Amino acid sequence: MRAFGRVRVLAGATRVSAAALAVGLLAGGCGSGPSGAPGAASSDASGSGATSAPVAPGGPGATPLEPLPTVVPAALAPYYAQRLAWQPCDGGFECTTFRVPLDYDRPGDGDLTLAAARAAAEPAATGAGSREPRLGSLLLNPGGPGGSAVEYLESTARTYDSGVRARYDLVGLDPRGVSRSSPVTCLSGDRMDAFTAVDLTPGDQHGIDDLVAADKEFADGCRKQAGAALGHLSTVEAARDMDVLRALLGDERLNFVGKSYGTFLGATYAGLFPTRVGRLVLDGAMDPALDSVTGNRTQAGGFETAWAAFAKDCAKREDCPLGRTERQAGEQLTALFAAVRTAPLPTGDNGRRLTESQATTGVIEAMYADFLWPKLRSALADARAGDGSGLLKLSDAYYGREADGSYPNLMSANTAVNCLDLPAPFRGPEDVQRAVPDFEQVSPHFGRDMAWMALTCAYWPVRATGAAHTIRASGAAPIVVIGTTRDPATPYAWARSLAGQLESGRLLTFDGDGHTAYGRHSACVDGEVNRFLLTGEAPEQDKRCDR
């Protein structure tokens, strides 16, 4: 899922790995909204008739995201008329690139080049040599914002159900600003090391000044390196890019599996192009109706819920380093964070020491997937013994840091998208300080950190173009929305809200732990989703699954 500071919204662990869950981050602004000033549509200066969809602030009675015209404007026709040149690439996949306008309202102002990859359908004989008909393309997005769909495809395509692989070309499109698609990068590796280590629970003015300086350095790096593109990395624009690719793939309707932030991207597509919705699966759903402060605060509560589940499980195990009750575990974690804040721990990694912010991030990383819980128990035991290497590795995984000290552009893109999609949650440190008690009330262990994480967008060099809104997608085919009851990054209430907003939403609930559900724990969830993708038969409303 995405976060509203430095917390992301990827499905699963922070990296898109062979385990391949989805991705979600907490970045400076969270949530998303269409481009254009809230409540006002902007006309295309070229006379194409393209508009930015109007929205109103979220909350009860918020105006839904309005659909775009069904006819492609003349000024955009050349983009929809491109021919894709697929070329073999690593792992037996095919790769291609195509162009989209930097600014859909001004197509003549320049282009961006986007990258996509596909795993061609693998038809299987069904008897007497006959084969099931191909169903078209199925776009995949792992979340973020900032997660590479191309990398996700390469690591997960062969784990998809054989029936799905037989009838769909699986396609990964890196959204604008991400990985291979005109990527935005804000800081060098050594400066990212400093950024990830800065104190996120400042106790005095000196600490606040250090945090503000780090956020300003990050924002200024993005401004210098991205230029004009920094103002055109919104979710609405990424959804419009998906429609261009849909047409170039030859599909009348978009079929899509989005995880974490990918659910917001998919829901936005449905709101803009409801009549072009095919079979959409939104797993680990975000709620577009939340403003950035509410979104950040409720997400902090989601991580607290996940921590409680971990602590309860840990207390039952012989190797639990935090005591024998959930309460003891919480007290020991708080004590550990305080100790590391005073005296950062050695890690054996080229002189790097584990700071409190990295220790907290390491624990947050492990909340994304319960298969990381044994690694977290071990890391916490080592930290209590004076070795911070385990928690540092988890923190590095969250940010995607490589062994050579380099970073992907995940966090850069994450923050850039979030800061465009919603107005900044806080205008400065004073706002954060006033909000901290509310954050700590819902999340005693992570609330303070996550409140300060959300400060980054206060210093963003371009104005937010979106606002909180609802998505109705009137007239769309059934859309499957999946929520996990103890999801840390996208709290279950968000899935219920999104499914309720969507006119054709069908809520599928997984009673379990971790971020996202499809392809992870439950044969019930997998069966419902695979049947929907293959037949169009959506789950019954409020269907519940467990392991």
The residues annotated as belonging to the active site are 260, 487, 515
Tell me the C-alpha to C-alpha distance, in Å, between residue 22 and each of 65, 176, 182.
Answer: 25, 18, 22
Q: Identify each DSSP E strand in 450-533 by its residue range.
A: 479-486, 505-513
What is the spatial distance between Cα 302 and Cα 286, in angstroms, rounded to a whole number? Answer: 12
DSSP three-state, residue 500: helix
Kindly give, in sequence order, each residue whose CB lies less than 8 Å from that of residue 35, ignoring residues fewer than 6 positions away.
Answer: 52, 104, 105, 232, 234, 236, 237, 420, 465, 466
Task: Kindly write down the DSSP assignment for every residue of 416-438, as one continuous string.
Answer: HHHHHHS--S-SSHHHHHHHHHH
What is the spatial distance between Cα 73 and Cα 95, in angstroms, rounded to a whole number? Answer: 28
Give yes or no for a contact between 9 and 3, defined as CB atoms under 8 angstroms apart: yes
Kindly give, in sequence order, each residue whose CB lies less than 8 Å from that of residue 515, ignoring residues fewer than 6 positions away.
Answer: 1, 10, 11, 12, 21, 22, 24, 260, 284, 367, 368, 369, 484, 487, 488, 489, 490
Kindly give, in sequence order, each residue whose CB lies less than 8 Å from that of residue 143, ignoring residues fewer than 6 positions away.
Answer: 1, 2, 8, 9, 10, 11, 22, 23, 24, 25, 258, 259, 260, 261, 262, 263, 284
User: Which tokens go with 503?
Assistant: 């006119």
What is the spatial distance between Cα 392 and Cα 361, in angstroms, rounded to a whole number? Answer: 9
